[in-house]
Chains A and B, each alone.
Chain A
Amino acid sequence: MNNFFERRYVIAGIFITIILILLGRLYYIQVVDGRYLLYANNNVIRKVIQYPARGPILDRNGEIMVQNEPVYDIMVIPKQVKPFDTVEFCKLLGIDKEGFDKRFAKAKRYSPYRASVFEKQLSAQLYASFQERLSEFQGFYPQQRPIRTYPDSSAAQFLGYIGEVSDRAIERSNGYYSPGDYIGITGVEKAYEKELRGQRGVKNFMVNSRNVRQGLYADGEYDTVAVAGERLVSSLDMRIQKLGEKLMQNKVGSIVAIEPSTGEILCFVSSPTYDPNMLVGRERSANYNRLYKDPYKPFFIRPLQAYYPPGSSFKPLSALVALQEGVITPQTTYYCPGYYVSGNRRIACFHGEQHGLVDLSKAVAESCNGYFFMVFDKLMNAHGAKNTAPSFTDWRQKVQQFGLGERLDIDMPAEASGNLPTAKYYDKKYHKGGWRSSTIISVAIGQGELDATPLQLANIEATIANRGFYYKPHLIKAIGEKKIIKDEYKVRNYVGVDSQYFKPVIDGMQSVVDYGTASGSKIPGIIMCGKTGTAQTAHGEDNSVFVAFAPRDHPKIAIAVVVEHAGQGARWAAPIASFMIEKYLRDSITKRPSGIFPQYYMDANLLPPLKVKTPAKPAAVILKKADADSVKRSNLKSASTHPDKKKRVEKLTAMLPIIKEDE
């Protein structure tokens, strides 16, 4: 029939082979390789995140401190853009042609079919004029998003700010955040991020190849609803917060007030401050840079981070420790000749004043240094004059109970611990056993190596007001609708001084205001107990310090005020504190017999000059203070090799307290 009959098998064989190869490949991509289903879902499913509204923050009286306000991001889908009047468009958005080209190129690079942000955060006004013409600009559409707004423009450092999440935070969040999300970066916004942010929802939309929405994926079966962030009720009282910020304007320093019966922080002033609204909206980055470069460091959270020597405001605590130890009684007297002989040194009392015969209350009232040197000597010699270290360690442990030298663990990040030197430190500084009571005598009056944050100073006053215990200071008193107060805020922290010892000290503190150093700040009708401090600093004027609580019985407020380089405590800090206390207790400020009035203090400009004429003892002091901070020290070291740099560092450090970085 045909010679080539068997060739049918060759041809059939080829057909079968090729079809089997195709089936093999199909088996691989359809059954073995699961990636394609993923790709297909990526193609078609657009997860649209439903952003919950961030929780608002109220003050203790229900006044809004921060809430949300809608702004509009202008989105663009490059492929849908039709020719339009770019000049007009740029004018409406307030950008130039170059900026337009740059943004458009960026959007196109991201994806020609997917929407990306063209211009961020148009205010409602700007958006209104843009919206009228929106139909002319095809491919552009607005997307509403809430941003933070601060009706009172105050409590900036307390509230902190939010910003776009960093790459590191994205990594750590296990996929919760994605680039472009907002997250609390400092302050309460950071500390309570989890509560404030709420819960995001996701809508799974399907889109076609031109990215036009085609309805919900699987009828919304995998969608979740956004849950708004919790509302936080802070402990702050905006009335005194605002007053405090005004009183502290054009000054460097801090005010912290605590409600002794709860540990709630009533005011949290860090000066100089800034309007938190500056860190929102389109001007944010420009403002941020300006504030960041401000030599007075408005971002520095002074209530928590600034190190101030307590100065004489330390004396009541000193007295309490001595009473508890039994080295003095309230009746112990001391004759002050205007100086104190410590070892072979003669230390003048403040301004060389002779206090004559003083007992404990009088010593507090008149701030007699000699009395407290005497007390400190007694304490330090408890284990024998040549055995100072164990006595010091005992003393230190007592002082630490008051919350000095360690963090109070406030509900806000970046709290500093202050500095309460240890015996070990002195052993290192002077060789072991090479120091006596007289060597470290300045600690007795809150100077020397002693540093405290304003929060710690205020907390000491709250402890004295409570006659022996404090509640952990905190900034938030309720989360959400339920007034949840963390258990740790209900615990009384006893400081190891029996309540009976407080009376003579408080007597002295009352006298400070009644007839003592702060008599000019007496509030008619309110018994305020306080203590002035005129703390020496490395450079320039003394810090003006005042700590107080009021009223004497059933105290409602404990306060610490520090005005940097302003001079005597009685001159600036005490009046400011008295206004704050009166405002809080009475909601008004009465005429004072002394004639002082708030406006005078608000108007005063006490900003330290940026140029330090002659630094008294420059690098040595700074280095000493910076011991614990190796970063700073290395900066200074490298700076000292470069004359210009060195000068600049000195200038900055001169007017700023030493910052200890959070380790």
Chain B
Amino acid sequence: MNNQRSFFSNVDWITVLIYLSLCIIGWFNIHAAVFDEDHASIVDLSTEYGKQFMFIIISLMVATVILLLESRFLSALAPAFYGVTILLLIVVLVVGRNVGGNQAWISLGGGFRLQPSEFAKFATCLLLARYLSSTNVKITDLKSFLVAGAIILLPMMLIKLQPDDGSTLVFCSLIFVLYREGLSPYFLIIIGLLITLFISALVFNITYIILAMVAVTAILLLLTRRKRGFALKLVIAFAVSVGFVFAVKPLYTHALKPHQRVRIDEMLGLRSDPRGAGYNVNQSKIAIGSGQMWGKGYLQGTQTKYSFVPAQSTDFIFCTIGEEWGFAGSVVVLGLFLFLLLRIIRIAERQRAPFSRIYAYGVASILFFHVAINIAMTIGLMPVIGIPLPFISYGGSSLISFTTLLFILLKLDSNRMGVIYA
């Protein structure tokens, strides 16, 4: 008893509070998004908001169980979790139910279904943490880098086969973890550069891009003229970039599927089809934009109430927040998320065990990626990628898996003063 209390007393209650706030915000907004007069009660189990309430209860139970676990299990069982998840990811490809073009669900009966890709997130984080925290593993070594990469890439590839692009891309966010553990900053710089070049090549005339690159390279050469050998690297980088820019167009037309191209074109403003491919984003922007400073009020959002926005309880839940609570609501929700992310970094850095720290960064990266991509998508800053807004979007699998992800971290953190495992 005494032992258990000490466990709970070490729990980071601030994080729990943010977590609960987000869950409740989600629940109310799902209520608003799918509200209908016949099922007005917010706990009516035949509705999405009723179910979400149940999912929150289940999540809290899961959270409690996690907090009661022995910390060392987590590290010890990481390979097992990972293995089971990979197995489920394979199973789903065989027996899975196809929902919305993605073979991502395993039916559990009773109207409930399981989405293995959600659980792949924390399983991958756990294994990555365990691997990177083992002795003699240094990310700067090629071998370690390759193994870490493989741990991330395996579930990615399986999810890509579903093909769930959104969840696949989530794993890319783990680059932050590798960076924190010593990966050369050039990786981040190069990724940023490639994204910039990719978008530029689609939007601007290729001549201007190359002129701009020449100018940037020249300035960099001038600034770094004292450093020997750097010039050569710059010139090579320049040459590769030029090649990449020329490759973008063919790559874009051949490697991407038409619906993906259309979504990217819509986002970049290269095409406008507000009744067709751009319908979702257009309606979503209208919903959020029409909320203005203080919003239209709870259950008063016309865009939401009259179902102009598709998927508004799941991927586009932020529309309801934006419309009914206005910019004020947006600030509160994004503020809570930012606070949560910074809190997790703080938690990460106070860990003595590298395993805990690495895992914490994994959690932060995954949450950040979800929040940024999801909200950017609803306001047209990103192409439409179907990923949920953590703790807020409707869905049992996503809520339970995000809860698990977070509470494993809290469990590890509550034990930070104890024995270092692994």
Residues of A within 8 A of B (CB): 2-5, 7-8, 10-12, 14-16, 18-19, 21-23, 25-27, 29-31, 33-37, 39-41, 43-44, 206-210, 214
Closest Cβ of chain B to A311, distance in Å, is 69
Report if A29-B376 is in contact (Cβ < 8 Å); known contacts: A7-B180, A44-B303.
Answer: no
Report if A11-B338 is in contact (Cβ < 8 Å); known contacts: A29-B288, A36-B286.
Answer: no
Sample of 17 more A-B contacts, CB < 8 Å, known A22-B334, A44-B306: A7-B180, A10-B185, A11-B176, A16-B342, A18-B372, A19-B337, A22-B375, A22-B379, A25-B379, A30-B326, A40-B289, A40-B302, A41-B290, A44-B303, A44-B308, A209-B308, A214-B306
Closest Cβ of chain A to B376, distance in Å, is 6
**Residue pair A15, B338 in contact (C-beta under 8 Å):** yes
Interface assignment of B21: CB less than 8 Å from any CB of chain A? no
Q: Which of B159-184 contact A (CB under 8 A)?
A: 176, 179-182
Which listed residue, A11, A21, A31, A209, touches B306 by the CB 8 Å rule?
A: A209
Report if A12-B330 is in contact (Cβ < 8 Å); known contacts: A22-B381, A29-B289, A39-B289.
Answer: no
Q: Which 4 pairs show the lowest CB-CB distances between chains A and B?
A: A36-B289, A40-B290, A208-B306, A44-B302
Question: Can you report 9 residue pairs joining A to B where beta carbons are below 8 Å apart?
Answer: A2-B357, A8-B349, A11-B361, A15-B338, A22-B375, A29-B379, A30-B289, A31-B292, A209-B306
Which listed residue, B180, B182, B285, B290, touches A11 by the CB 8 Å rule?
A: B180
Interface assignment of B277: CB less than 8 Å from any CB of chain A? no
> Which residue, A11, A33, A44, has most C-beta atoms of chain B within 10 A?
A11
Closest Cβ of chain B to A14, distance in Å, is 8
> Which residue, A21, A35, A40, has most C-beta atoms of chain B within 10 A?
A40
Complex CA gap A14/B179 in Å reads 12
Chain B residues contacting A16 (CB-CB under 8 Å) are 338, 342
Q: Which of B309-356 contact A (CB under 8 A)?
A: 322-323, 326-327, 330-331, 334, 337-338, 341-342, 345, 348-349, 354
Chain B residues contacting A34 (CB-CB under 8 Å) are 292
**Residue pair B322, A30 in contact (C-beta under 8 Å):** yes
Nearest opposing residue in chain A for B348, CB measure: A8
**Residue pair A5, B349 in contact (C-beta under 8 Å):** yes
Nearest opposing residue in chain A for B376, CB measure: A22
**Residue pair A4, B307 in contact (C-beta under 8 Å):** no
**Residue pair A11, B179 in contact (C-beta under 8 Å):** yes
Q: How many residues of B contact A (CB 8 A)?
A: 47
Nearest opposing residue in chain B for A30, CB measure: B327
Interface assignment of B127: CB less than 8 Å from any CB of chain A? no
> Which residue, A10, A12, A36, A207, has most C-beta atoms of chain B within 10 A?
A36
Which listed residue, A10, A18, A39, A208, touches B290 by the CB 8 Å rule?
A: A39
Complex CA gap A438/B229 in Å reads 117
Interface assignment of B155: CB less than 8 Å from any CB of chain A? no
Closest Cβ of chain A to B37, distance in Å, is 11
Residues of B within 8 A of A (CB): 176, 179-182, 185, 283, 285-293, 302-303, 305-308, 322-323, 326-327, 330-331, 334, 337-338, 341-342, 345, 348-349, 354, 357, 361, 364, 368, 371-372, 375-376, 379, 381
Mostly, the B contact residues are helix
Chain B residues contacting A214 (CB-CB under 8 Å) are 305-306
Closest Cβ of chain B to A346, distance in Å, is 86
Chain A residues contacting B357 (CB-CB under 8 Å) are 2
Complex CA gap A95/B90 in Å reads 59
> Which residue, A7, A29, A209, has most C-beta atoms of chain B within 10 A?
A29
Nearest opposing residue in chain B for A16, CB measure: B338
Chain A residues contacting B182 (CB-CB under 8 Å) are 3-4
Complex CA gap A12/B342 in Å reads 7
**Residue pair B307, A209 in contact (C-beta under 8 Å):** yes
Chain B residues contacting A31 (CB-CB under 8 Å) are 292-293, 327
Complex CA gap A579/B348 in Å reads 111
Complex CA gap A142/B326 in Å reads 41
Closest Cβ of chain B to A471, distance in Å, is 59
Chain A residues contacting B345 (CB-CB under 8 Å) are 8, 11-12, 15
Complex CA gap A209/B345 in Å reads 43
Complex CA gap A591/B369 in Å reads 105
Complex CA gap A579/B234 in Å reads 110
**Residue pair B286, A39 in contact (C-beta under 8 Å):** yes
Report if A30-B286 is in contact (Cβ < 8 Å); known contacts: A4-B182, A15-B338, A43-B308.
Answer: no
**Residue pair A36, B290 in contact (C-beta under 8 Å):** yes
Closest Cβ of chain A to B267, distance in Å, is 13
Closest Cβ of chain A to B238, distance in Å, is 25
Chain A residues contacting B286 (CB-CB under 8 Å) are 36, 39-40, 43
Chain B residues contacting A30 (CB-CB under 8 Å) are 288-289, 291-293, 322, 326-327, 330
**Residue pair A43, B302 in contact (C-beta under 8 Å):** yes
Chain A residues contacting B303 (CB-CB under 8 Å) are 40, 43-44
Nearest opposing residue in chain A for B326, CB measure: A30
Which listed residue, A3, A10, A18, A35, touches B289 by the CB 8 Å rule?
A: A35
**Residue pair A206, B306 in contact (C-beta under 8 Å):** yes
Complex CA gap A23/B287 in Å reads 16
Closest Cβ of chain A to B355, distance in Å, is 13
Complex CA gap A7/B181 in Å reads 9
Which listed residue, A12, A36, A41, touches B288 by the CB 8 Å rule?
A: A36
**Residue pair B302, A27 in contact (C-beta under 8 Å):** no
Closest Cβ of chain B to A22, distance in Å, is 5
**Residue pair B289, A8 in contact (C-beta under 8 Å):** no
Complex CA gap A11/B360 in Å reads 13
Report if A15-B379 is in contact (Cβ < 8 Å); known contacts: A30-B288, A31-B327, A39-B290.
Answer: no
Chain B residues contacting A210 (CB-CB under 8 Å) are 307
**Residue pair B334, A23 in contact (C-beta under 8 Å):** yes
**Residue pair A4, B181 in contact (C-beta under 8 Å):** yes
Chain B residues contacting A7 (CB-CB under 8 Å) are 179-180
**Residue pair B285, A36 in contact (C-beta under 8 Å):** yes
Complex CA gap A611/B399 in Å reads 92
Chain B residues contacting A10 (CB-CB under 8 Å) are 179, 185
Nearest opposing residue in chain B for A7, CB measure: B180
Chain B residues contacting A206 (CB-CB under 8 Å) are 302, 306
**Residue pair B306, A207 in contact (C-beta under 8 Å):** yes
Report if A19-B334 is in contact (Cβ < 8 Å); known contacts: A8-B349, A12-B345.
Answer: yes
Chain A residues contacting B379 (CB-CB under 8 Å) are 22, 25-26, 29
Complex CA gap A49/B306 in Å reads 22
**Residue pair A8, B288 in contact (C-beta under 8 Å):** no
Which listed residue, B307, B331, B349, touches A23 by the CB 8 Å rule?
A: B331
Which listed residue, B302, B322, B371, touches A26 by the CB 8 Å rule?
A: B322
Closest Cβ of chain B to A647, distance in Å, is 57
Chain B residues contacting A41 (CB-CB under 8 Å) are 290, 302
Complex CA gap A36/B322 in Å reads 12
Nearest opposing residue in chain A for B179, CB measure: A7
Complex CA gap A44/B307 in Å reads 10
Chain B residues contacting A11 (CB-CB under 8 Å) are 176, 179-180, 345, 361, 364
Closest Cβ of chain B to A107, distance in Å, is 16
Chain A residues contacting B326 (CB-CB under 8 Å) are 30
Nearest opposing residue in chain B for A5, CB measure: B349
Nearest opposing residue in chain B for A27, CB measure: B327
Report if A208-B307 is in contact (Cβ < 8 Å); known contacts: A8-B180, A23-B330.
Answer: yes
Nearest opposing residue in chain B for A40, CB measure: B290
Chain A residues contacting B302 (CB-CB under 8 Å) are 40-41, 43-44, 206
Chain B residues contacting A43 (CB-CB under 8 Å) are 283, 286, 302-303, 306, 308
**Residue pair B180, A4 in contact (C-beta under 8 Å):** yes
Nearest opposing residue in chain B for A14, CB measure: B176
Closest Cβ of chain A to B209, distance in Å, is 22
Chain A residues contacting B290 (CB-CB under 8 Å) are 36-37, 39-41
Chain B residues contacting A209 (CB-CB under 8 Å) are 283, 306-308
**Residue pair A29, B285 in contact (C-beta under 8 Å):** yes
Chain A residues contacting B179 (CB-CB under 8 Å) are 7, 10-11
**Residue pair A40, B287 in contact (C-beta under 8 Å):** yes
Chain B residues contacting A25 (CB-CB under 8 Å) are 379, 381
Closest Cβ of chain B to A323, distance in Å, is 81
Complex CA gap A5/B375 in Å reads 30
Complex CA gap A12/B343 in Å reads 10
Closest Cβ of chain A to B290, distance in Å, is 4
